[in-house]
Every structure is written in C-alpha cells, then in structure tokens.
Chains A and B, each alone.
Chain A
C-alpha cells in the first residue's frame, strides 16, 4: 500500500526566501509528526497533529516555522525567511492512533538547502 509521501524531495532556497514542504500521510492515520534531521544526527521533534488539531508545537525552533493540517490529512510545514541553519532534512511521520505500540511510519523527507 501507499506509504507516507513528501514533496518536494529536494529544495534549494536562497536565504530569506519562504518555503513550503508537503506531507501526505498514510490514509486514515490520525497522528502526524514533523521532525528535523541535521546531517549525521537523529531526527528532532518539531510538531504534532492529531487530526487537524496541532496539539504540540514545542519543537518548532522559531516563529518563522509554521505547520498546518487543515482537513486532518495533508500537512504543510512552512518556513519563512529561511536561514542557513534551517538546512536539514525535514521528515514527516504518521501513525494510526496515539497510544501503545503504534509505530510511526516515516516519509522519505525533504532535503532543504539554504544558500
């Protein structure tokens, strides 16, 4: 079956530009997570949605980062006025419901390079 998809796979932005990264979770999955992964590091939590509700945005590094999931399926992570330190892979993950034993399924990520 279809897994988590993300687009674009690669994005090059000039410093100061705005970018939008898209995530299509597995159909029917309630939970959706965004993570940021720097080169050679593990993923770091950014934000969490349960259906359309953003229940945790404690990992967003600054107010330049904004995420939405208006209809409880597709999600968009927007970064305004990109900076070089935003260069990373942005991973989206979804899981069926919150709770015990529900693994998160990851998408392939969007590699963002800010020049």
Chain B
C-alpha cells in the first residue's frame, strides 16, 4: 500500500514563496501528482513527476526524489487566489488497477494580504 504525509496547513503572505513537502512510502511507484482544490470544487491538475528532479511550470514548480520518497511543491509570487488545498498523490504501478492515485490528506494554504 501507500502512505503519504503532508502538512495540514500553511500560512503565507501575498507575493511570498511557500514550499509544501510531501513524503511517501510505497509498495509500487509510477509517478507523483500535485493537484489544487478550492473549497467545494474539483481537484485540478498542477504537476506530474516520474523522474528525479525539478519540473517548472510558471509560478509553480515540483520536485521529486524517488530514493528519499520525497516531493515538494513550490508556489512563487503568491496571489490571494492561491488560497486552496494542495493534494499530493502517488500513482500505483499496478496497471490492472488503472494506475489509481493514493492521496495525502492535503495541505490547506492560506494567503494573507
């Protein structure tokens, strides 16, 4: 099975940078996803890492170290609209299961003016 840990809540100031860490223990790994979820809305895809290293996409970057079972999501130049929950999810290697996702509990980020 999978065990995924991320902080419950983080607070940051508009314009600043926030780093959300995610650690995982897995019996099979086939990639790590980050999703953003505003309250009452669907999770929306932010990033995908399957190899070690940093993936940059605009203000958002995601890093993966498979040997350490560790990822982080970096949000730069924070905007008020970035206040949301950020979900770390590991994809199962089992294709018969459709490569299902196992999610962490989510990190609620509150951006203050």
- Measured CB to CB, the residues of A under 8 A from B are 3-4, 31, 33, 35, 40-45, 48-50, 55-56, 58, 91, 95, 98-109
Contact = CB atoms under 8 A, between A and B. Distances in A.
B60 interface: no
21 contacts: A31-B98, A33-B98, A33-B101, A35-B103, A40-B106, A42-B4, A42-B89, A42-B104, A42-B106, A56-B96, A56-B97, A56-B98, A56-B100, A91-B43, A98-B99, A99-B99, A100-B30, A100-B50, A102-B99, A104-B101, A106-B42
Nearest to B98: A48
Contacts of B44: 106
Majority SS at the chain A contact face:
loop
Contacts of A35: 103
Nearest to A103: B45
A100 B98 CA distance: 11
Interface string B30-49: 11010100000111110010
A55 B97 contact: yes
B97 A43 contact: no
Interface in B88-113: 89, 95-106
A37 B98 CA distance: 19
A50 B94 CA distance: 13
Contacts of B97: 48, 55-56, 58
A73 to B, nearest CB: 16
B98 A98 contact: yes
B37 to A, nearest CB: 8
Contact of A4 (B31, B42, B99): B42
Nearest to B92: A45
B20 interface: no
A43 B31 contact: no
